[in-house]
Each structure stands twice: as C-alpha cells, then as structure tokens.
Structure 1
Amino acid sequence: MPPSDAPSSPAAAAEVDGHPRRWAILAVLVFSLLAVVLDNTILNVALKTIADPVEGLGTTQSELEWAINSYTLVFAGLLFTFGLLGDRHGRKRMLLIGLVVFGLSSLASAYAQDPMQLIVARAIMGIGGAAIMPATLAIISNVFPPRERGKAIGIWAGGVGLAMAIGPITGGVLLEYFWWGSVFLVNVPVVVIGVLLIAFLVPESKESASLKLDPVGVLLSIIGLVALVYGIIRGGELASFTHLEVWLPTLVGVVVLVLFVLHERRSDHPAFDVRYFRVPAFATAVSTTALVFFAMMGVMFFLAFYWQMARGFSALEAGALVLPFAVAQVVLGPLSARMVERFGGKIVATVSLFVVSLTLAAHALIQLDTPVWMVLVLSFVQGAAMANIMPPATTTIMQSIPREKAGVGSAMSNTVRQIGGALGVAVLGSVLSAVYRDQIAPSLTAVPEHLRHAAGESITATHGVAEGLGAQGAALVEAADAAFIQGMHVAALIAGGVALVGTLVVAKWMPGKAAAAPRSGAALDKKPAKV
C-alpha cells in the first residue's frame, strides 16, 4: 500500500517552506554528481589512448567495450535497489557511501596495470554511481517545497547535461597534457570535496524504518535489469539481435521483470508499487524519458566517430564541438520550470520533443563537407529542446509518487534513462554497422584477403588497415568515410522517428496544464490488486 502523504520531520518543513539551506544543498548535490555523469562521457575520448600498447594498456576492442559496459551493466542493474535502500536507510548515508566507493574505484581505474583490472574497477565504479544518482534527486525532492521543486530539478538536469557535454573536452584536455589514467583520477578531488560538503550541509531523510523490506522484489529487479541490459549491450557488440548471446539474456530479463511486476502487485509491502503506472502523467513521463534517451544517445554515439574519424578532428577538438549542446542545457535547463508554469508541461514537452525529432532527423543531411558551424547550430537547438523536456519529465515522475518514495522514483527515472540510452547505442549502432558493412564491401576487393574481414568491421578498423596500404589506402579511406556517412544518415532518420513517437505519446497522454499529478497513493486503491 502506498504510504500516506503525511511527511515526517524534516520533510514536513520542506513541504511548506523548504529547507533553509536548500539552494546550497542543491549546489553541493549537482557538484557531487559531476564526477558520475562526467565519467560516462569522458572515457570515450580516452579509448584510443588506452588501446595503445605503449601509451596505454594495449587493450583489445572487446576489452575496451567491456571497460565501458561493465560500468553500465552494474549501474543500471543496481539503480533501483539503491534507490530503495536510500529511502529505507537514509539518502544522505547512501550518497556518502556511493561517493566513497566511486572515488576509491576511480583511483583503482587510474592506476590499473592491465585491462582486466580496469574492467573490474569500472564495475565497482558502477556500484558507487548507482548509489549516488537516485539519492541526489530524492534529496532535492525532500528539501524543496512543491513550488520550487520544478526549478530545482531543472537546475539538476542542467548540471547533468553540462557534465555529459563537457566530458569529451575535459578528457581531451587531460590527454593533451597527462597520461590516460588522468581521466579517472580527476574524479577523486571532486569526490573528496563532495563528501566534506555533504557531511556538513545535507540533512538526512528516509522512509519510516518500521516498514517491511521486499527482498524478493529487490532480487527480481536486479536479475531482470542486469539480464536485460546485458542482452542490449551484447546486441550492440555483435551488431546483431538474432544471436543466442543477445536474445536469450534479453528474453530472460523481460520474463524476470514481468515476474517482478506480478510479485509487486501481490505484495502488501512492494519495493515499488507498479500501480503508479496507472497514473497517466507518471507513465507518460517514464516512457518519454526512455524514448528520448534512446534517440539522443544513439546520435551522440555516432557523432563522436563522425568528428574524429570521418572529419579527422583530434579528441580535444571533438570534445570542444559538443559545447553548444552543453551551453544550451546550462542556460535553458533552469528556465524550463518557468516555461512549464506559463504554458503547461504538455505543450512545452510536445513542442520540444517535436524539435528534437527534427534536429535528430536533420543529421541525415550532414555530409563530410558540411560547414562545422551548421552542425554546431543544430547541436545548440537540440540542446535547447532537450533542456525543456527532461526537467518537466523528471519533475512529473517525482511529483507522481509520494515524497517518501523519492529515492525509488529517482531510480526509476534514471533506470529508464540508462536502459533507453543503452538500447539506443546498441540498436542505432547496429543499424549503422550493418549499412556500413554493406556499403564498404565493394571497396574491399583491393584489400589483401586476410585483412578483408577486419577491414570491413567499422570505420575505425578500415582506417587502420588503410594506413598500411600506402597510396591504395587513400581510396579505401574515402570509401570508408562515404559508407559511414550513409550509415549515419539511416541511423539519424530512425532516431528522429523514435523521438517523433515520443512526441505523439506526450501529445496524447500527458495531462494538460490544469491536471495535477497525485503526490501520494491516495488516488490509488488501498490494497494492491490481486492477480
């Protein structure tokens, strides 16, 4: 049964006037979150250096992929569980534990001596990140009154967008002057400062400790999410979703998550009351978040290759080219609450999603000789539209459930975001790879037979083979760039279509300006429905 809407101290004060230090608390939380979000994008520009046998660890392509995916797998699988534990045992406590784990594992990653050490350290970082993310948003919901919550979440979302966008340029700067481990070591001072500030500024908040836990529900959520995300990741690695290693874990994940839903509906003390999906605002915001991140993360994935491989920019230059997106997020994210107050969340989200779908599809017009400034303008417009989607969507999710369940609500928002993003990279990456292989195949006839398979795997592999072919390699590079652009166009059109589906979902089902989302389970049945 969802808890009553009567909050306990200090949450009661936050419901009326808010915590007296709430804006300082928000600043500390956003600062602490920088390390987690920054690390998700900063690593991308360091992959080439880490793979170098002299300057890096000499990792293989598969080891590089798992250096990224080990974090994603653990992070997505444990987000929901740590959100629940934070609600139960204290969000501040969970945040501090997560930061310490994240900082220590960042240190271990920086000084890893071989690929396996890096993969394991990254997996432990995922544990820390999963404890941090839901706690930050849950604390914000508890220290801010309803009238300021939207603005606060807008600032939080702007900070997330900023960290995502400045990750590549930060990594480029660090690699320009330091060794590859610096991209992980940079997290340590952020964590140390964050721990000290949180210890002194942030109040503790949690649900009643007398409430029962739901260990079966927690276990099912972990198994289901890990299996599902693993299947998605393998699909991206193999560029195929028909392989046994892809569809089997994906199917297991889906089946276990269905069992999770059935179990939660029967339980009188569910880890998460799935009946909140009956609330149109909640269900719409969750599905929109997944669709948007599917489309956006897939496009950001292939844009990194467009700048560095097809256009030949350095890691630092490619990172700098993401700044327009970051500027739009930082400037317009905090203003999104004002837009929602004036026009309503439905209109703002529908218009913004439509603009995102147009900008994503517009990437199908980008060529090798497209002026850089045009792509930057496109990036800025996309960032501006995103800045008016995620804050109201996140606010809707958090306001659709009781404040006592803020950690679980935050975890739900971050989980669908992570799964949507992973699925976008896997699916759109697979589409790009399939088109690329088909387009590059005719040009591989001039390549020595023993190199043809490797040369046709990706634009990175083709460029690598071409370097050893002398004058003949120049023609192969030109064909590879053309094939990549063709694949990028197809992936961009699919991404735009997915975002358009999100637009239709919001336009149809998100409540209008006058409709208020319930702040408690009062609108739901007193007892969960038996099935």
Structure 2
Amino acid sequence: MSAKSVDIHGKNYSRGLFMLAVLVATFAGMLMGTSLGTALPTLMNDFNIDLATAQEATTWFLLANGIMVPVSAYLSTKFPTKWLYVVAFSMLLIGQYISYSAPNNNWNWFLAGRIVQAIAVGITMPLMQVVIVYIFPAKDRGAAMGLGGLVIGMAPAIGPTLSGWILDKNHTILGLTLSDSWRSIFLLPMFVIALDLVMSLFLLHDVVPNQNIKLDIRSLVQSTVGFGLFLWGLTNVANSHYDGWFDIPHVIIPGLIGIFFIATFVLHQLEMKHPFLDVRVFKIKQFSVTTILISLSMMAMMGIEMMIPTYLQELRGLSPLSSGLTLFPGAVLMGVMSLVAGAVYDRNGAKRLSRVGFMILSIATFPFLFIGLNTPKSFITIFYALRMFGIAMVMMPLTASAMSALPKEKASDGTAANNTARQVASAIVVSLLSSVTQNIANTEGPAKALKSENVLEFSRKTLDVTLTGFHASFAIALIFALLGFIISGFLHSGKIISNDPNLLDEKGDKQS
C-alpha cells in the first residue's frame, strides 16, 4: 500500500501514508464510543448523578453520531476530502478537550463535548469507506476494507479494556501521566489526534471528486429530526426512569414522529434530481442484501458484547479491568481476522466467507445460553473470541461487497446508507436486549417481602432471575446470527470486480 497515486488535482501522494493518517484518527475517535462504559461509577461519583444520567455519555454519543451519518454523503461530495478530514479531526480534538475539562458540577458541559466528538466520528467513519473505494482498485479493496475493520471492529471492543486499565491505577505512557480518573481516558486519544492532525496537513489529499451541490434544507431537517427522534426514542427504552417500550411520551411518540419524518425524507429523495442521500442504492440487490446482513451481524455482535461485561461485573463481581481483559483476546482476534478476511475476499468474494462466518457465529453463541454463576472465565474468553472470529469473516467482506456493487459516484450515498442502517441496528438491539433483561427481572423477580424474611434466599432468586434475563438476551443474539446465515444464501456467488451495477442481472448473479 505504499504505491504512489494521483489525487483529483493530479498531485502524487502515498496511499499507505494517507490511510495511516485516516485510520489512526478514526480509531481514536471510535474508541470514545465505548470507552466510558467502565467509567460510569466514577462519573456518577464525580458529577453526583445516577446511573441513568451517566449512561447519557453513551446514548448522546450514539444519537449525535446517528444523526450525522446520513449527512456525510452531502459533505463528502460538496467539500474537498483533505479539508473535510482536517475539520473533522479538529472537531474531535475540541470535543474531547471540552469533556476532559468539564467542571464536576456541570454535566451538560461534559455532554456537549461528547456530542461534538460524535459529530466528528459521524463524518470520519463513513468518509473512510468512501476514500477506500476511490483510492484502491477493486482487486485490492477487500484488503483495504480489512484495515478499516481494525477501526470499526477493534476500537469499540478495546475501549472498555483500555478504560479499565487506566482506571485501575496511575500509568505513564508517551510521557503522559494517566491518573486513575475518568479525565485520563481522554488524554491519550487527544495526544494521538493532535499529532495525527498535524500529519494530515501533509499526508492527506483530495481524492473524492466534488460537486457544487446546493444544501437542501428540507432534506437536512427531515433527516435530522427523523433519525434524531427515532434513535432518541430507542435509547430511552433502557432508561430506568421510563417505562420501557410502552413509555408513550419518551419512546412511542418520538419513535412514531421519527418514522414519519424518515418516510417523508425517503419520498423526497426519490423525487429529487440530485438527492441529499440517494436511497435508490437500495434498488441494487447485492447492496441491499449485504446491508441487511451487516445490520444483522452488528445486532448479533452487540447482543453479546453489551451483555457480557454486565454479566461479569454484576453477577460475577469482576472489576472493570478484569472483565475487559476477559474479552480482550476476542478484540485482538477480530482485528487480525479482519485483515485476513479482507484478503480472502479479494480472491473468493463475500458469499462463502459470510456463510461460514455466520455459521461460526451461531455455533459460538449457543453456549452462552447456558452460562451460570460458576462458568470458568476461560470458557467465556474462548467462545467470545470464536464469535469475534465469525464476525470478522462477515463484516469486512460484506462491506467491501456492498461498495463494489455501486458505481463510484454513488460510494458516498452507499456508505452513508450502510452506516445509517448499522447505527439504527445497534440502537435497536441495545434497547431490545436491555428491555428484555430488565422486564424479566421485574416480572419474575422475588417479592420484596422475601428480602426481610430471608435475605439469602432473596439474593439467590434475584441472581437466578437476572441470569435468566441474560440467557434470553443471548438467545435473541443467536436468532440474529441464524437469520444472517439464512439470508447470506441470497448473496452473489463470487467477487464483484466492477462498480457498475448494470453488470448484474435482476438476481445479482452475473459477474463481470
């Protein structure tokens, strides 16, 4: 990947150094999406807030990120690649500093920083995939997407482990002293992004052709309000202050209004000559099927990745660092396999890889239906790693296949649509599994009177019911994996080596 390439202005640049700058900053940004999960108790103590409020550090990041992703198609088409990255990296650095410097009596200051960070990541993550389409030929795109897998897959998985390590005790790294405070979680990414921002001024180039398109305010409002309210309603499902899926003012009403605005947004795009986000990309079967499968793989992954740390800490009494280390081998394996799977895709296509991947994912998920309070940590580590092995075989090949099914000029729209589906799928599964687990605990838990009569029996029954809730969540994750295996049978057999969808027949079976 060190070969010299030419940007849209005819200037030479290094693809390898270009990708290095992009991957490093995007990794540091996505790391922040999950890194505060293990810091919630510390945030609750320092800001004097309850758990539901502390969880806003993650839910508002998810919300702002989900709103920005559909906008990314317009931004990447309208503005030069280099300066769009420079602005996004600068916003990421500023957002992290805002949160880092938040006074202990001002939670809203902290949240404002999280929102700025999420907006930046909402630009850099989709733009990275668009850039890969433009700077790598189709024969090398799988391997390049595999590098992207290191960012998309490993960063969220490593985040909790890194935070647990920082919060465990004081550390010194790269000359920075990291104290056992939530503020230190921001220091290392800030240092990396600041360095990468300076490098990007010299290494990045304009590689995506630009068009002087006018911002359609109506589309922007419909997209922002629609996806914003829909995702906000979903994130409220898991809020302990509300009544789950049946909370009318906080879940049902914003969800329905969001769906209405999303529907009007889609209809408006179909009527436009130059759409804000071209939803017609879903008319291409290969793109639609791969997007569905990517969403299912995200739901299957999040179904376990979200619940296992909670199980390890709440039911097994492990520290945040110990629970993170239990899952760390899986994160590393996923990163390594993303590279391997990308290279294999370049030779064989996505169908065979995804079928095997979903099969491995299903087999490795099944044992989680039977874990108990005394299940060895090694058992969890092995099967979690096996699950991540399957996810890696699915995620990057499908992403590369989806992008290859589109003309290059639709790469921005395809990436935005693909990532929006991924974001919505993540929000749905987090809300679904949280509500299922909580509902089982509420409806099948022991009577409160038992606590005063026999506290040991009350504790035992509470643990049993909570474990049942986790088993139900794992079963739902297994269903998503099995659905993925079934639907992957409809994929194109072989590798698509052209971005021209006219080379595919209605069944998506013809290959260039």
TM-score past 0.5 threshold: yes
**Aligned-pair distance for 1:409?**
2.6
What amino acid is the match of 2:468?
Answer: Q
**Aligned-pair distance for 1:239?**
5.8
CA distance in 2, matches of 1:516, 1:11: 23
**Aligned-pair distance for 1:13?**
8.5
- Equivalent pair of 1:239/1:430 in contact (CA under 8 Å): no
Which residue is equivalent to 2:80?
A: 90
- Equivalent pair of 1:354/1:500 in contact (CA under 8 Å): yes
CA distance in 2, matches of 1:484, 1:493: 14
CA distance in 2, matches of 1:112, 1:277: 43
**Aligned-pair distance for 1:298?**
2.6
- Equivalent pair of 1:432/1:484 in contact (CA under 8 Å): yes
- Percent identical among aligned pairs is 23
User: Could you tell me which of 123, 127, 132 is aligned with 2:119?
Assistant: 127
Which residue is equivalent to 1:145?
A: 137
CA distance in 2, matches of 1:204, 1:13: 10
Q: Residue 322 of structure 1 aligns to a residue in which SS?
A: helix
User: Could you tell me which of 39, 46, 49 is aligned with 2:42?
Assistant: 49
- Equivalent pair of 1:87/1:405 in contact (CA under 8 Å): no
User: Could you tell me which of 455, 463, 468 is aligned with 1:486?
Assistant: 468
- Equivalent pair of 1:94/1:135 in contact (CA under 8 Å): no
Which residue is equivalent to 1:511?
A: 492
Q: Residue 354 of structure 1 aligns to a residue in which SS?
A: helix
* 1:181-213 C-alpha deviation (Å, 9 max, x unpaired): 111233211210121122111111333334444
TM-score by length of 1: 0.86
User: Could you tell me which of 156, 159, 162 is aligned with 2:151?
Assistant: 159
Which residue is equivalent to 2:508?
A: none
Which residue is equivalent to 2:29?
A: 36
**Aligned-pair distance for 1:483?**
1.8
- The alpha-carbon distance between structure 1 residues 265 and 482, as it changes in their structure 2 partners (threshold 3 A), is same
Q: Residue 64 of structure 2 aligns to a residue in which SS?
A: helix
**Aligned-pair distance for 1:522?**
8.8
- Equivalent pair of 2:133/2:403 in contact (CA under 8 Å): yes
Q: Residue 55 of structure 2 aligns to a residue in which SS?
A: helix
Alignment of 1:303-382 (within 5 A): 303-382=308-387
TM-score by length of 2: 0.89
User: Could you tell me which of 225, 241, 245 is aligned with 1:223?
Assistant: 225
* 1:473-509 C-alpha deviation (Å, 9 max, x unpaired): 55544333222211110111111112211221221x2
**Is residue 445 from structure 1 mapped to residue 455 from structure 2 by the alignment?**
no
- Equivalent pair of 2:34/2:58 in contact (CA under 8 Å): no
- The alpha-carbon distance between structure 1 residues 243 and 195, as it changes in their structure 2 partners (threshold 3 A), is same
Q: Residue 206 of structure 1 aligns to a residue in which SS?
A: coil
Which residue is equivalent to 1:257?
A: 262
CA distance in 1, matches of 2:493, 2:136: 23
CA distance in 2, matches of 1:186, 1:141: 30
- Equivalent pair of 1:87/1:207 in contact (CA under 8 Å): yes
Q: Residue 186 of structure 1 aligns to a residue in which SS?
A: helix
- The alpha-carbon distance between structure 1 residues 125 and 337, as it changes in their structure 2 partners (threshold 3 A), is closer
CA distance in 1, matches of 2:300, 2:243: 17
CA distance in 2, matches of 1:350, 1:12: 42
Which residue is equivalent to 1:284?
A: 289
What amino acid is the match of 2:274?
Answer: H
What amino acid is the match of 1:10?
Answer: D
- The alpha-carbon distance between structure 1 residues 12 and 331, as it changes in their structure 2 partners (threshold 3 A), is farther
* 1:221-258 C-alpha deviation (Å, 9 max, x unpaired): 22211111111111222462122121211111212111
Which residue is equivalent to 1:10?
A: 7
CA distance in 2, matches of 1:12, 1:378: 49
Alignment of 1:229-248 (within 5 A): 229-237=231-239, 238=242, 240-244=244-248, 245-248=250-253
Which residue is equivalent to 1:182?
A: 184
Q: Residue 425 of structure 1 aligns to a residue in which SS?
A: helix
* 1:67-126 C-alpha deviation (Å, 9 max, x unpaired): 221111111011110332122112322222111111111111122122222222212222
Structure 1 gap segments, 5+ residues each: 1-7, 449-470, 525-531
* 1:48-84 C-alpha deviation (Å, 9 max, x unpaired): 11112xxx21212231122221111111011110332
User: Could you tell me which of 82, 107, 110 is aligned with 1:115?
Assistant: 107
Greater relative contact order, per chain length (Cα 8 Å cut-off, separation 6+): 1
Using the TM superposition, name which of 420-429 and 329-338 deviates more: 329-338
Q: Residue 270 of structure 1 aligns to a residue in which SS?
A: coil
User: Could you tell me which of 459, 477, 487 is aligned with 1:495?
Assistant: 477
CA distance in 2, matches of 1:493, 1:361: 8
**Aligned-pair distance for 1:408?**
3.1
Using the TM superposition, name which of 214-223 and 346-355 deviates more: 214-223
Using the TM superposition, name which of 475-484 and 221-230 deviates more: 475-484
**Aligned-pair distance for 1:517?**
6.1
* 1:362-390 C-alpha deviation (Å, 9 max, x unpaired): 31111111111111110111111111111
CA distance in 2, matches of 1:207, 1:445: 68
CA distance in 1, matches of 2:264, 2:492: 30
CA distance in 2, matches of 1:523, 1:256: 33
* 1:1-48 C-alpha deviation (Å, 9 max, x unpaired): xxxxxxx9725999xxxx751122222221111222211121000001
Over 6 Å off, 4+ runs: 520-524
CA distance in 1, matches of 2:85, 2:61: 18
Q: Residue 418 of structure 1 aligns to a residue in which SS?
A: helix
Which residue is equivalent to 2:94?
A: 104
**Aligned-pair distance for 1:426?**
0.3
Structure 2 gap segments, 5+ residues each: 171-178, 506-512
Which residue is equivalent to 2:200?
A: 198
- Equivalent pair of 2:403/2:411 in contact (CA under 8 Å): yes
Using the TM superposition, name which of 119-128 and 307-316 deviates more: 119-128
**Is residue 21 from structure 1 mapped to residue 14 from structure 2 by the alignment?**
yes
- The alpha-carbon distance between structure 1 residues 519 and 197, as it changes in their structure 2 partners (threshold 3 A), is farther
- Equivalent pair of 1:87/1:408 in contact (CA under 8 Å): no
What amino acid is the match of 1:51?
Answer: M
Q: Residue 370 of structure 1 aligns to a residue in which SS?
A: coil
RMSD: 2.5
What amino acid is the match of 2:21?
Answer: V
What amino acid is the match of 1:373?
Answer: S
**Aligned-pair distance for 1:410?**
2.4
CA distance in 1, matches of 2:487, 2:152: 24
CA distance in 2, matches of 1:472, 1:385: 45
Alignment of 1:381-392 (within 5 A): 381-392=386-397
* 1:435-458 C-alpha deviation (Å, 9 max, x unpaired): 12223233x22346xxxxxxxxxx
